[in-house]
Chains A and B, each alone.
Chain A
Amino acid sequence: MRTAQWVHWQERLVVALLVICASVSVVTTLAIVLSLGVEAFGFFREVPLWRFLTEREWTPLFATKKFGILPLVCGTFLIAGIAMLLAVPMGILIATYLAEYASERARRFLKPVIEGLAGIPSVLYGYFALLFVTPLLQKFLPSLSGFNALSPGIVLAFMVLPTIASLSEDIIYAVPQSIREASLALGATKLQTTFRAVLPAASSGIISACLLGFARAVGETMLVTIAAGQMPNLTLNPLEPVQTMTAFIVQVSLGDVPHGTLEYRTIFAVGLTLFLITLVFNLLGLFLRERFIRTFQRMA
């Protein structure tokens, strides 16, 4: 009798422990919101929100402080935009090829290669962008400065390529066979079937992959810190040095900024901005992905 009771209690204890493990993830989210929010709140008590959003200069570490986030957001979107310009067409081409055309052997060789790109540390991408891609580009573009948005943008494209290609490939692969058969039965060629039947059916899933890739690109840190520079710059010229939101956080973290000062709080205000931007793209991406899966579950 005593053992049966002990087993019963043990069972309840274990379930309680497991629930605690599972709630760590929820607590993490709350802790992120709380820790960013507390310091950002302190920041916005000293710097009004409208100045943060509308001023066109970002100089929190200078004697005359200006707190306009626009240059950092602009630098971030410029680099991420260059990356997406390359990564989206390449990712969709590769995904379509792998899902519809490649032989099983080619797939098995190429998929790990593409996914291997995601395993390379971002400091190494930064090293490559600063000391290989930038000097190479300077041969063709003499006006390119040593730190610029173009070279990390190009390299960043290959960093997010695995996300876009791999997620899109899964989605294209999951398009029901009946759609292909219907199109082929009507006399369409394989290419027509791919581009006019399969890809449109997969479009919400592919867009979701691109959104998740974009969120990745916006949050990337070491590559852009190393190769894009530390100069907040409200420009769309890819040849000039820019600073991203992430690079600013690194710059302040490396310096000796004491806890409780306004400079210390700026990184949390910037971090909160970054968090909200990536959150929007992630949620949108997850929503579209969910919708794609639900659409075809009904068909299958």
Chain B
Amino acid sequence: METTADWRLKATTVRRREIWMERLFLLAAWGALLLTISLLLAILGKLFVDGLTRLNWQFLTSFPSRRPEEAGIFSAWVGTLYVMVLTATIALPLGVGAAIYLEEFASRNWFARLVELNISNLAGIPAIVYGLLGLQVFVRWFRMGESVLAGACTLALMSLPVIIVASREALRAVPNSIREAALALGATKWQTVRDHVLPLALPGIMTGTILALSRAIGEAAPLVTIGALTFVAFLPKSPFDPFTVLPIQAYNWISRPQPEFHHNAAAALIVLLVLLLLMNSLAIYLRNRYQQRWRI
């Protein structure tokens, strides 16, 4: 026969074990988080230790060179900005247009469902496959060559799914009463969207677009595939000129044996990281500054 004392003892043992299990779990979770944060710090630390000394005005305004101490990233950062602006020009109207169609105009028909399924699937396709697409379609079939335009078209297609998803969320956040008010006053559907819904959704759309672009310009793989050069001693003058970008320039320097070139790569990556940070801060600023809290 088990007495009350026996039961109590059992219960205490079980409880003690549970407490220890919980501590073990929390310890493991904190360990994983600590590891992640220290990796992040290690990456930044390594980068700045290696690259900060190389970062100066000469480095920003020189073309690449065979001598590491004379080499610079002028053509690379100009190329990155050029590609980014062109990508945004192509991707933003297409992405917002698709989002407006899906959110505001499409009824639940087969076409809307097909597009939706397609977008979630496109988001998972590796960047380098987009590069092969760009190589075949833009470089070969459309005869754009290894140009800024071909690169921008490729990156635009790659960032479209992200822009569409972000824009749809922004449009969905605009309350229906706004639409109903405009329609009740006799505006057409497009007038309602153009004059009322779109302006209100614009901050959200811009935030999503900037984040998508910052993803795209950090990505070297698709541009390597379409044939962006690794050694460019001139600036692209028109969208049809060959070009290079920061991550490709950095990759080129990493793959050389001399440590001096590795330091150049680190410095180029610092510039890229600063650019990405600026874009992300802009996105966060836009979100906080213009985000509406709807009271309905």
Contact = CB atoms under 8 A, between A and B. Distances in A.
A19 B136 contact: no
Contacts of A15: 101, 105, 190
Given A119-B280, A161-B36, A226-B254, A191 B126 contact: no
A25 B122 contact: yes
Contacts of A274: 126, 128-129
Which of A124, A128, A249 has the most chain B CB within a 10 Å cutoff? A124
Nearest to B223: A253
Interface in A248-284: 249-250, 253-254, 259, 267-268, 271, 274-275, 278-279, 282-283
Given A119-B280, A121-B247, A23 B115 contact: yes
Bin the interface of chain B by size: 35 or more
A93 B29 contact: yes
B34 to A, nearest CB: 11
B189 A11 contact: yes
B29 A101 contact: yes
Contacts of A161: 36
B52 interface: no
Contacts of A132: 42-43, 46
Interface of B is mostly: helix
Interface in B208-251: 214-215, 218-221, 224-227, 230, 247, 250-251
B276 A7 contact: no
A124 B37 CA distance: 16
B159 to A, nearest CB: 11
A131 interface: yes
B18 A29 contact: no
B278 interface: no
A168 to B, nearest CB: 13
Nearest to A127: B254
Contacts of A246: 126, 128, 221
Interface string A157-173: 01001000000000000
B254 A28 contact: no
A275 to B, nearest CB: 5
A21 B120 contact: no
B173 interface: no
| Interface residues of A, dominant DSSP | helix
B81 interface: no
Interface string A70-114: 000000000000000000011001101100010000000010011
A17 B120 CA distance: 22
Nearest to B259: A131
Nearest to B101: A18
A103 to B, nearest CB: 13
B51 to A, nearest CB: 9
A108 B269 CA distance: 28
Interface stretch (B92-100, B176-184, B285-293): B92-100
Interface in A10-49: 10-11, 14-15, 17-26, 28-29, 31-32, 35-36, 38-39
B37 A113 contact: yes
A209 interface: no
B33 to A, nearest CB: 6
B251 A226 contact: yes
Contact of A25 (B32, B118, B218): B118
Nearest to B189: A11
A119 B269 contact: no
A125 B44 CA distance: 10
A111 to B, nearest CB: 11
Ranked nearest first, the 8 interchain pairs of A and B with the lowest CB-CB distance are: A219-B126, A21-B97, A121-B218, A35-B136, A97-B29, A282-B124, A221-B221, A18-B101
Interface of B: 18, 21-22, 25-26, 28-30, 32-33, 35-37, 39-40, 42-43, 46-47, 50, 93-98, 100-102, 105-106, 111-112, 114-115, 118-122, 124-133, 135-137, 140-141, 157, 160-161, 164, 188-191, 214-215, 218-221, 224-227, 230, 247, 250-251, 254-255, 262, 265-266, 269, 272-273, 276, 280
Given A32-B129, A117-B40, 16 more contacts: A11-B190, A17-B97, A21-B101, A97-B33, A127-B269, A158-B39, A191-B25, A225-B251, A267-B132, A271-B128, A274-B126, A274-B129, A275-B126, A275-B129, A278-B125, A278-B126
